[in-house]
Chain A
Amino acid sequence: MSHKGDPGTKVKKAFLTLVVLALLAVALQSLVFSGASFTSSSGNPGNIFTAGTLTHTNSKDGQVVITAPGLLPGTSATGTLTITSGGDSPALYSLTKASVVDVPAAPGLSSALTLQVDTVPAAPTPLFLGTVAAFTTVDLGVLAPGASQQYRLTLAFPTAAADPALQGATMTLGLRVTGVTQ
């Protein structure tokens, strides 16, 4: 049995007081060392990335370039179109055969007629010369934004390709111009 005045009670009280003080000290230390820092920050705003655009105009867009009714062996027909490049960057343009319809299918007039593609004024060597059947695509060259280039297309019926079976035959050729940024 202990009393308030007992030496044992005083020792216990002193011990408890020391424990509480020690705990408080530990807690205070952890508060002091957790999360106190200096910081420094800076930013680089306004980094802008803008996608460009590529456009072009075709002087014969949606129209027929060459019409050659009654084409005979040894004759030819020509047509021209002008490509004007737009957008923000140079582009490589190409002329592609989009479709060909021969009536009759065989013998097909496309196998007899030749297609020649030239720049205007003409370069020493045409961009393409061959039968329509063999034609797939031809590079028209690189055009800077705003630049224009005229092209001449010539359809010829070579005498050597004359075939009585082709009399009255028709051919419809679809062409597509495409630009690709460089």
Chain B
Amino acid sequence: MKRMKVLFGQRRMMVLVTLAVLMLVAAALIASSASFTSTSANPANTFTAGNLKHTNSLPGAAILTVGNNPMKPGDTATGTVDITNDGDVAGVFTLSASSLVDTPGPLGANLSADLYLTVVEKDPLGAVISTPYNNVLLSGVPLPTPGINLGSFAAGEKRTYNFSVKFKDNGKPVDATSGDNRYKKAITLIEFDWEAITI
């Protein structure tokens, strides 16, 4: 039995030694091998964030104002504004109204109750393309959102919108304090807002 163990111990040692020698040989072979290589690269992959911005031909200013010509029933105030997507990506534009403020006249009526807003998009030749607001009671215009979807403006696209607000003529008042006479000296103030968002 003891002899058997000795024999096995010697054989194991021999196996280990043989393996070690083989590993050294293999390592030498690998380390000394010569190979062809080929490489390529794709550098300068650039990612630039787009820029959505627009210009308003009347920035921060009123589109419609009657100034020194106060309105009487039947009168219409008009104005035009150009909206240009001068960013480098397309955007969906919306138009809404906000900050409606009525200052009633001496007889207490709010003028916005009889002012009607129409917004028409026209091409350079004056042909109507769309009518975002068509004779909408000013006091009923969505405030302040969601507004009216004007569609997608491509980068660089300009659109022209004609605004008009009409003071409805309700006919001859029956007396000095009724009908349209109630609006005398009333004032309405409103803001129009444009917003674009990338698609």
Chain A positions near chain B (C-beta within 8 angstroms)? 37-54, 88-89, 180-181
Contacts and interface: CB of A to CB of B under 8 A. Distances in A.
Nearest to B189: A48
A51 B183 contact: yes
A42 B186 contact: no
B176 to A, nearest CB: 9
Interface of B: 50-56, 58-67, 69-74, 77, 81, 83, 87, 89, 91, 98-99, 105, 111-112, 115, 138, 165, 167, 172, 183-198
Nearest to A180: B172
Contact of A39 (B52, B67, B192): B52
A45 B70 contact: no
A51 B63 contact: no
Contacts of B197: 37-40
Contacts of A43: 56, 60, 98, 191-194
Contacts of A39: 52, 195-198
B185 A47 contact: no
A53 B62 contact: no
B52 A51 contact: no
Nearest to B190: A47
Given A45-B60, A49-B138, A89-B70, 15 more contacts: A39-B195, A40-B91, A40-B197, A42-B54, A42-B83, A44-B192, A45-B61, A45-B99, A47-B165, A49-B115, A50-B70, A50-B111, A51-B71, A52-B185, A53-B70
